[in-house]
Structures are given as C-alpha cells and as structure tokens.
Structure 1
Amino acid sequence: MSAARIAVVTSGAGFEHDVDLPLVVAALRAEGLAAEAVAWDADSVAWDGFDLAVIRSTWDYTTRLDEFLAWVDTASRCTRLLNPAPMVRWSSDKRYLLELAERGVPVVPTRVLEPGDPCGEADFAQPAGVVVKPTVSAGARDTARYEPGQAAAAVRHARMLLDQGLAVLVQPYLRRVAEGERALVFVRGAFSHALRKGPVLTEPGVIDNFRVPHPDLVPHRPTEAELRTASAALAAVPSPDTPLFARVDLVLGENGGPVVMELELIEPHLFLDTNPRGLGLLVEAVAAEAGLKAV
C-alpha cells in the first residue's frame, strides 16, 4: 500500500517565512505520509495527484483574492481540500463578523462601508477612537487606528480604500487590547493551545504594512469565558463541516468580556513551533483525514 500523498499548501512568502511549514511536513512524513510543501500558485501542479491538500501559509491570498478563490474551487474539484472551499470563501472576507454577531457571538462592534457609500466624520465618532481596515486583509495590512481627534484622517483612510473598490470595516478601538490579544488554536473543533500577543496598532494614524504581526508572544491559559466565546464562534460557522484547524482571535471588551476580533480559517499562523502538542494534534488529524495508517 502506497503512502497517502499530502500537499501542505503554502506560498512564496510561506516558503520563506513560515516556521511551522518544515515542522508539519517532517511530522507528516514521520507518520508515513508522503507530504510535500507546494505553493498554491505553482505552475503545472497536478492537484488530482494528492489525496489531501491542507492549506497552511497561502499568505498572499488577500492581494490576489479572485485568483486564490479560483484556485480553491479548482483544487477542491481535484482533491480533498482542508479547510473546505465554502469555509475558505466565507472566511476570506471579514464581513463574516456581522454574521457572527447575528448568531449571538460577541464580536468587536463592526460597521461595513461599501464602495459608493457616503463617508463623513460622523461615521468615525467613537469615544476611544476607531480602527479602519479593508474587509479583506491579513497581518493588519492597510489598517490603522485613529484617536477621537483624528476623524478627518480616518475618513481619508476609508475613502482611499473605498476609491479602490474595497469594502471597509469601521470598529471602535478597544483600549483593553493593551492587555493583549488572545489567539486560541483549535484542531478538529477541540481546543489545542493559546498565545497572547501585544497590541499591533501601537501608533495612532499610521498605516504600516511592515509591522510585526505577532509582537511579544507568550503562552496564554484562556479563561472559561474566552473558551466559550471562541467555541461559540466556531459553532456559528455556516458549514456542516468542522474546520481541520482554526484560530480565534479575541480581545477584551470595555466590560472585560472577550469579543471576537477575527475567526481565521484559511491560513492562520498556528504557532506550532511553540507547542509540540498542537503540532501532534494537527498531524494526527491530517493522518485521520487521509485515512492513513502507513506505508
């Protein structure tokens, strides 16, 4: 019996910067799987030659969304894609926060401005300031926060994005983010591990696409409230499938309760280099999905 062939799907940036990538490939091979890292946009890849394709670090998808989603559809017709194509498509646009809120999940209060919508300073009036970002973004790209006295600058930022045909999220700045964002990692719906990181938007009024996306990482023991909120977010995903992997990013709201900042189901950094247990859980889940038990 030949080993199941597994594509661990990445990108040019992933090959260069994803520290988890070689760990995942090596661990899968140690389990008897024929695993290899493959860029999603590589030429002449026969995706039907793989038993399973696991998306891991397709980190350029936000700047090439239509192309990426076309690949998702093609790959899912050729092999089993995880996470599945409908889940990937849903998670690619942060308008999903509005759906989570409708399903009763505590999220950062969110308003969406569409291209063509009027946009004035009144849209950015929040006591602690606002965060402006495109609905399709990763690593805080084209994102900034603005103090209450910077509403005019926030309007200019939003209009810049809207003029490019991009939808825009406007959210209140939650000052308790200074206590750290919480990143909770799940494998097959079960909690694996969590980390806490420092705030990313440290300078008001600054768009910096080269900022460190995960500063000051430390292990984190989530509270029961954080686990409940993250689990509620996963349960609200409009899919009959359980994600192979997920990362739920939380921050404390003004009342101290956790709220969802992002629910990442496409290519989140899972920080497996910091957590051997998490790596083992992911590899075990992939092996089960591949129906493997060995060569």
Structure 2
Amino acid sequence: MVLCAYVTFDDPDGHDDERDLVLAAWREAGLEGRTERWDDPEADWSAYDAVVVRSVWDYCDRRAEFLAWTRRVERVARLLNPAAVLESNTDKTYLRDLGLPIVPTHWSSRDLPDHREYVVKPTVSASARDTIRTSDRAEATAFAAALEAAGRTPMVQPYLDMVEAEGETSLLYFNRRFSHAVRRSPMLAPGMTGVDNIRAQPRTPAPDQVELAEKVLAAIPQPLLYARIDLVRLPGGAPALIELELTEPYLYLRQVPGSAAAFAAALRELL
C-alpha cells in the first residue's frame, strides 16, 4: 500500500471540508492517506511515499517556518507540490515574473496610478486578509505605506467591476491535466464572506481562458500535483491572471462529481 500524508494545520473549527472526500478517493485509488499537521514535531515524514500539502491555512503568519519545514520534508520524502514551488508561490511577487497578462499591479506606496477604486494587499496573504478596497487614493497610499513599514511588499490594483457580473473563473488542473472549473464570486464584493466564496458554481471556461491557463502552467517547470488558476476579465474583455494557487488552494471537489477521483488518479500517476 502506498502511504500518503494529507497535510493540514491545527484546525479546531473544521474549516477543511475536503479532507474526508480526498482521503476516501485516495482509498479507492489504492492509496492509504493519513492526516498530519505540518508543524507537528512528532510527525515522521520519512514514513510516507508522498507528503501532499493541502490545508496549511496558517502559513501566512509563519511563512519562514513553513518554508523551512518544506525543505526538511523534501530531504526525506516526495513533497507535492515541491518546496521550490511553494517558496515562490507563497509570495505574490511571482506574478510580475511570469511574463503573462495579470491584473495591473503597482508594487509600491509611491506614485500610485489613478484608479476609480483601489485594492491594496500584501504579497504574502490569503483569503483577503490585510486587504482593503477603497476609492480614496490617500487611504490606499497610507495602507500601502503601512505594509511597507511592517516589512511587507504591497500590491496596489484597480478594483474590476466586471468581477461582480462575471465573477472569477478558477480552472483546476491535476498533474497538469484539466479537471474542472468554477465561477467564484469576488471576496471584496459587497456582502461577500469566505463561506460565499466556497459556494462556487461549475463553469465551462471560455477558449481564451483555457489558452491563458495553459500558458501559466507552462511557465512552471516543476511537477505539479495540483494547480488552481484564478482568472478575471479586464475592462476590454481579455482574461488576466489574478492568482496562481499552488500551495493550499481550495479545490472545489464537492461541486464537480468525479473531481476527487481525478485528484487521486493524478497523485497515483506521479508516484
């Protein structure tokens, strides 16, 4: 039996509602899965054929510690996704290095461009934490400057009204093979919560979205068990990358029948 670790965090409120679904799909595929907390000092990572990073949703506050853990694990086990991928992907400055269409982004508190509304956030964050949406340029500047003063790199972007009409399109790939896509409502839309964001609807991506997603994947040379590519449309209608999720994305497995089995099959292929 192939033994795989499903890596999570100390989650007393049970936020990860995909874990049991994944573990059941692994069993069906002949993979034995065990839940491990990434920061458990008693965990024996060398006992696993694969260590699969999943709901490590506290890494943002402990990024250096988390990345040190990935390097330790990779010395004794197959880590998926690989440590180099996780290091790059946990700081959103990777977006400016891809050479692909992204939401226009200003990476400083100085000389902000003119936008009707601003979104300001740090490059290391998740689930809209430490993020503001404002039409006040002075407020956007001050928030970005406060991030810099705390040693964090700010991202200043225009708020795109189109996301409220069309939503964000997330394309899910397992072992670089397209699995499914969903429409997600933007987290900064009025009245939205994280729970609403999880309640996504299946969507068939448009050809131009698939084309961009494939280019994004091609820019990452390392093996990828999972990738979630979040796209929005710019005011002119062209798709742009808002985020490439390679660390701990929610996979929307409950929304699409068969997707958990596809995830398990991809893991078995990589092993």
1:167-206 CA distances to partner (integer Å, 9 max, x unpaired)?
11111222211120111101111111011121211259xx
Distance 1:51 1:267, change over 3 A: same
Q: Secondary structure at the match of 1:67?
A: helix
Distance, in Å, in 2 between the alignment partners of 1:278 and 1:286 is 13
Match of 1:140 in 2: 128
CA contact (8 A) 2:175 2:270 kept: no
Note the C-alpha offset of 1:57: 0.8
- Deviation, 1:231, is 1.0
Q: How does 1:39-78 map to 2 (within 5 A)?
A: 39-78=37-76
Q: Does 1:159 find its partner at 2:140?
A: no
Q: CA RMSD in A?
A: 1.9
Q: 1:25-104 counterparts in 2 under 5 A?
A: 25-100=23-98, 103=99
Q: Return closer, same or farther for 1:98/1:213 CA change in 2, 3 Å cut-off.
A: farther
Deviations 1:143-178 (A, max 9, x none): 12222xx11111221122112111111112222111
State the Cα deviation string for residues 91-136 of structure 1 (Å, max 9, x = none).
1110011011xx2x111111212xxxxx35x41522x322100001
The 1:262/1:201 distance shift into structure 2, 3 A limit, reads same
Report the secondary structure of 2:232's partner residue. Answer: strand
CA distance in 2, matches of 1:6, 1:211: 29
Cα 1:15/1:235, change in 2 over 3 Å = farther
Give the Cα separation in 2 of the matches to 1:151 and 1:107: 22
TM superposition shift of 1:217: 1.6
Q: Distance in 2 between matches of 1:13 and 1:33?
A: 24
Deviations 1:271-293 (A, max 9, x none): 11112322111101112223xxx
- 2:170 is paired with a residue of what secondary structure? strand
Tell whether the 8 Å contact from 2:200 to 2:252 is kept in structure 1 after alignment. Answer: no
CA distance in 1, matches of 2:67, 2:132: 26
Is 1:195 paired with 2:154?
no
Checking the alignment, whether the CA contact within 8 Å between 1:140 and 1:213 is kept in structure 2 is no
Q: 1:18 aligns with which of 16, 19, 35?
A: 16
Q: TM-score, normalised by structure 1?
A: 0.86
Task: Tell me, yes or no, if the aligned pair for 2:82 and 2:223 is still in contact at 8 Å.
Answer: no
1:81-230 aligned at under 5 Å gives the runs 81-100=79-98, 103=99, 105-113=100-108, 119-120=109-110, 122-126=111-115, 128-147=116-135, 150-178=136-164, 179-203=166-190, 211-212=194-195, 214=197, 216-230=199-213
Counterpart selection for 1:233 from 188, 206, 216:
216
Map of 2:238 onto structure 1: 257
TM-score, structure 2 length as denominator? 0.94
Unaligned runs of 5+ in 1: 114-118, 291-295
1:192 and 1:32 map into 2 onto residues whose CA distance is 20
In structure 2, what residue type is equivalent to 1:19? D
Distance verdict in 2 for CA 1:214–1:38, change over 3 Å: same
SS for the counterpart of 2:180 is: strand
Aligned residue type for 1:58: V
What are the superposed Cα offsets for residues 209-268 of structure 1, whole Å, 9 maximum, x if unpaired?
Answer: x7547165211110000101111111112x2x2311000000010111110000000110
How many residues align structurally?
A: 270
